[in-house]
Amino acid sequence: MTDPAAPPTPPVPLAALLAREDLGLRQLAGPDARAAGTAVQWVHTSEMPDPYPYLLGGELLLTAGVHITDPAGADGHLDDYVARILAAGGAALGFGVAPLHDTVPRALVEACDRLGLPLVEVPPRTTFSGVARAVWRLMAEARHAELRRVTEAQQGLATAAARPDPVPAVLRQLAARLGGVAVLYGPDGAELQRAGHAPDDGVRDTLRELTAVVRRAAPAAPASAADTAGSTHLAAYALGGGRGFALGVATERREPGDHTIAGAAVVLLSLLTGEHQGASEAARSAALVRLLLGAPVADTGPLLGGERWSVVHARGEGGPLAASALAAALGTGLVDPREPGDAVRLLVPADREVAPADGWTLGVSAAAPPAELPSADAQAARALRRAEATRVPLVRHRENGLAGLVAPEEADAHARVLLAPLAAGEALTPTLRTWLSLHGSWDRTAVALSVHRNTVRQRIARCESLLNTDLNDPDVRMELWFALSRCR
* 3-class DSSP string for 36-50: HCCEECEEEECCCCC
Cα radius of gyration rounded to whole Å, the chain: 30
Cα separation of 318 and 316, whole Å? 7
pLDDT tens track of the chain, all 488 residues? 334 445 556 788 999 999 999 999 999 999 998 888 899 998 999 999 999 998 989 999 999 999 888 888 777 889 999 999 999 999 999 999 988 898 999 999 999 999 999 999 999 999 999 999 999 888 888 888 888 888 888 888 888 887 767 888 889 999 999 989 999 888 878 888 888 887 788 888 888 888 888 877 655 445 788 888 888 888 988 887 666 788 999 998 888 788 888 888 888 888 777 644 444 455 555 665 665 566 665 566 555 554 688 899 998 865 454 676 677 677 776 777 766 567 888 888 887 788 888 778 999 998 888 777 788 888 898 888 888 877 888 988 875 555 544 555 676 777 788 888 888 888 898 899 889 888 888 998 988 888 999 999 999 999 999 988 888 888 888 888 878 876 65
pLDDT at 140: 85
Cα separation of 363 and 380, whole Å? 5
pLDDT at 109: 94
| Sequence-distant (≥ 6) Cβ neighbours of residue 423 within 8 angstroms | none
Q: Could you give the 3-state DSSP secondary structure of residue 96?
A: strand
Contact status, residue 254 vs residue 233, Cβ threshold 8 Å:
yes
Contact status, residue 104 vs residue 74, Cβ threshold 8 Å:
no
For residue 233, the cross-strand partners are 228, 251
pLDDT at 40: 92
Q: Could you give the 3-state DSSP secondary structure of residue 121?
A: strand
Q: What is the DSSP string of 141-192?
A: HHHHHHHHHHHHHHHHHHHHHTSSSHHHHHHHHHHHHHTEEEEEE-TTS-EE
Cα separation of 246 and 183, whole Å? 8
pLDDT at 338: 66
Cα separation of 432 and 438, whole Å? 10
Neighbours of 305 (CB within 10 A): 13
Q: Could you give the 3-state DSSP secondary structure of residue 336?
A: strand
- Identify the helix (H) or strand (E) that includes residue 236: strand 232-238
Cα separation of 471 and 23, whole Å? 57
Cα separation of 205 and 213, whole Å? 13
Q: Pick from 298, 378, 300, 311: which is nearest to 344 by CA?
A: 311
